[in-house]
């Protein structure tokens, strides 16, 4: 359960891959504390809602059309769709659907989309193996601890060197999940992570032109994780120390930032402290780095007339500036939904004018809103000296009116995180709003019920509820 980290393994003795493997191999469903289990269900419900909503956007149809040319028809289900695909193709497709809108959850300290790094493999492989919900939830929990801890250990390093953190850590979590679902022992789960070290990738070049590649990173990791587990199951030899060493994952991927890696953060307190429980659910469909500033702008909306704004100062954590605020000229003129999601200037401007920000605010017509675009040009982003980043994605907004009057609001704990985490009612509200873009209310209710009862049903019952009728 959540609480202060209890380091049980000294750094000199820590072997991350073996420690994670030992934890995963020995984990049983009854080991998962009830609050952690209930949180896991909410995270899965939220992710499936986002996956359903993705079907309302062109990227979903285009992506799945391309995936269908790889292996043809299969038996595995897709979220909110009637098509059935072979195992690894379905895992790729489901990963794209879950992460495609960038509206899925984030573990703030790790700066990763934790459920996107785990659910595509856990859901699809569990269905393929005809497992029950308890087996899926147990593997999902083991994968979540893997993804979050590897991400947290690098202290933001992946982003500094140009990697999409979710895209790289998801290879390891998927390898652990797939191995757990196959019932492999700790030695094989260790080697599966070793195989994953040779596939882990995902560069952030998509930021430069609003490309779609970020959407495929978690699904591609699920493909790699399933492959790694099946290989080691059959006797394939993988490295047993993939994270450490001169040619290990941290050194090759982080290079100059490798020296800051904290191996204790991976191994310490496994089974005692559940990082899964700290994962934040997004209230806004934009990069999580912007959420504190969006909160501030929405609160100020009630106090100002947008037509009287002269200029806006947006405060962001220093390390997030290159991702959501720079280069300024590009951020001021987003032309695609993905560019807009990563533009603090655009999001803050829209929040100040509308008092909210949802999926409709990323539609093509919304991106052409002249009133929003005009204000976007007057939003200047500066470093937030009061930020609690990375614990929280803090942010602030200072507005100068044409009269010279100023209004300032700073948010330390962004909505959806920490003590402001969404509860069951909040998650259900978001889920039904997202699901309504793809399925009927009655089908959405069946999906909701299946997720909340997942520990008492076979996974096939959930995937049947998720499928769209032919």
CA separation for the pair 295, 313 (Å, rounded): 14
Two structure tokens written together for 244: 């450490």
Give the pLDDT of residue 395: 98
pLDDT band, very low/low/confident/very high, at 256 (cuts 50, 70, 90): confident
pLDDT of 10 higher than 60: no
Give the pLDDT of residue 3: 41
Q: Are residues 170 and 53 part of one domain?
A: yes
Residues 351, 414, 162, 213: is their CA dihedral positive or negative? Answer: negative
Two structure tokens written together for 201: 């990738």
Two structure tokens written together for 439: 């399925």
CA separation for the pair 369, 298 (Å, rounded): 18
Q: Are residues 383 and 360 part of one domain?
A: yes
Give the pLDDT of residue 6: 35
Q: Are residues 179 and 59 part of one domain?
A: yes
164-189 pLDDT per residue, tens: 999 999 999 999 999 999 999 999 99
Q: Give the number of domains in the chain.
A: 2
Taking CA atoms, 84 is separated from 37, 197, 398, in Å, by 29, 30, 50
CA separation for the pair 340, 87 (Å, rounded): 33
Give the pLDDT of residue 332: 94
User: Does residue 230 sit within a domain?
Assistant: yes
Give 3-state DSSP helix, strand, coil % of the chain, rounded to 5.
55, 10, 35
Mean pLDDT confidence for 365-374 = 96
Give the pLDDT of residue 48: 98
CA separation for the pair 393, 344 (Å, rounded): 13
pLDDT of 108 higher than 80: yes
Q: For residue 138, which of 189, 176, 93, 193 has the smallest C-alpha distance?
A: 176
Q: For residue 348, which of 388, 413, 304, 386 has the smallest C-alpha distance?
A: 304
User: Does residue 283 sit within a domain?
Assistant: no
Q: For residue 108, which of 428, 429, 307, 391 has the smallest C-alpha distance?
A: 391
Q: Are residues 297 and 242 part of one domain?
A: no
Q: Are residues 154 and 303 part of one domain?
A: no
Up-side HSE of residue 397: CA atoms within 13 Å toward CB?
A: 31
Give the pLDDT of residue 174: 98
pTM summary value: 0.90
CA separation for the pair 127, 465 (Å, rounded): 13
List Cβ neighbours of 13 (8 Å cut-off, separation of 6 or more): none
Mean pLDDT confidence for 461-467 = 98
Task: Go through 61-86 and write b for each residue having 16 or more CB atoms within 10 A of its CB, e for each that does not.
Answer: eebbeebeeeeeebebbbbbbebebb
Mean pLDDT confidence for 341-352 = 97
Give the pLDDT of residue 390: 87
pLDDT of 13 higher than 80: no
pLDDT band, very low/low/confident/very high, at 470 (cuts 50, 70, 90): low
pLDDT band, very low/low/confident/very high, at 68 (cuts 50, 70, 90): very high
Average pLDDT, the chain: 94
CATH number at residue 303: 3.30.1330.120
- Lowest mean pLDDT of 110-114, 198-202, 251-255, name the range: 251-255
Give the pLDDT of residue 258: 87
Q: Which domain holds residue 203?
A: 16-276
Q: Are residues 176 and 85 part of one domain?
A: yes
Contact 202, 217 (CB under 8 A): yes
pLDDT of 163 higher than 50: yes
């Amino acid at each position: 359960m959540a609480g202060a980290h209890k380091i049980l393994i000294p750094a000199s003795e820590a072997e991350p891959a073996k420690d994670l493997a030992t934890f995963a191999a020995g984990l049983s469903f009854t080991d998962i504390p009830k609050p952690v289990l209930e949180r896991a269900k909410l995270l899965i419900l939220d992710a499936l809602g986002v996956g359903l909503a993705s079907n309302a956007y062109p990227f979903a149809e285009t992506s799945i059309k391309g995936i269908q040319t790889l292996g043809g028809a299969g038996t595995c289900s897709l979220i909110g769709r009637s098509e059935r695909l072979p195992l690894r193709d379905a895992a790729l497709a489901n990963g794209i659907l879950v992460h495609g809108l960038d509206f899925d959850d984030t573990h703030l300290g790790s700066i990763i989309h934790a459920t996107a790094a785990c659910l595509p493999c856990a859901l699809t492989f569990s269905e393929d193996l005809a497992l029950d919900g308890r087996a899926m939830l147990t593997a999902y929990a083991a994968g979540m601890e893997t993804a979050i801890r590897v991400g947290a250990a690098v202290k933001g390093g992946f982003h500094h060197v140009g990697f999409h953190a979710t895209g790289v850590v998801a290879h390891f979590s998927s390898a652990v999940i797939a191995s757990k679902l196959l019932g492999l022992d700790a030695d094989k789960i260790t080697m599966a992570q070793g195989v994953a070290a040779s596939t882990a990738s995902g560069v952030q070049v998509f930021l430069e032109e609003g490309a779609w590649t970020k959407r495929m990173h978690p699904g591609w990791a699920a493909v790699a994780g399933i492959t790694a587990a099946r290989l080691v199951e059959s006797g394939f030899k993988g490295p047993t120390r993939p994270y450490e060493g001169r040619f290990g994952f941290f050194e090759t991927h982080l290079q100059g930032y490798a020296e800051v890696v904290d191996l204790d953060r991976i191994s310490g307190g496994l089974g005692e402290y559940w990082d899964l429980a700290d994962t934040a659910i997004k209230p806004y469909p934009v990069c999580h780095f912007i959420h504190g500033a969006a909160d501030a702008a929405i609160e100020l909306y009630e106090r100002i007339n947008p037509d009287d704004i002269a200029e806006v100062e947006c405060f962001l954590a220093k390390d997030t500036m290159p991702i959501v605020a720079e280069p300024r000229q590009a951020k001021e003129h987003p032309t695609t939904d993905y560019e807009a999601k990563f533009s603090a200037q655009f999001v803050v401007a829209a929040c100040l004018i509308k008092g909210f920000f949802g999926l409709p605010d990323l539609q093509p017509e919304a991106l052409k809103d002249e009133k929003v675009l005009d204000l976007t040009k007057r939003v200047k982003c500066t470093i937030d000296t009061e930020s609690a980043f990375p614990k929280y994605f803090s942010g602030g907004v200072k507005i100068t009116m044409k009269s010279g009057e100023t209004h300032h609001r700073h948010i330390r704990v962004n909505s959806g995180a920490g003590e402001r985490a969404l509860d069951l009612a909040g998650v259900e509200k978001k889920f039904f709003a997202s699901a309504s873009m793809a399925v009927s209310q009655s089908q959405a209710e069946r999906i909701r019920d299946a997720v909340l009862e997942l520990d008492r049903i076979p996974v096939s019952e959930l995937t049947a509820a998720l499928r769209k009728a032919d």
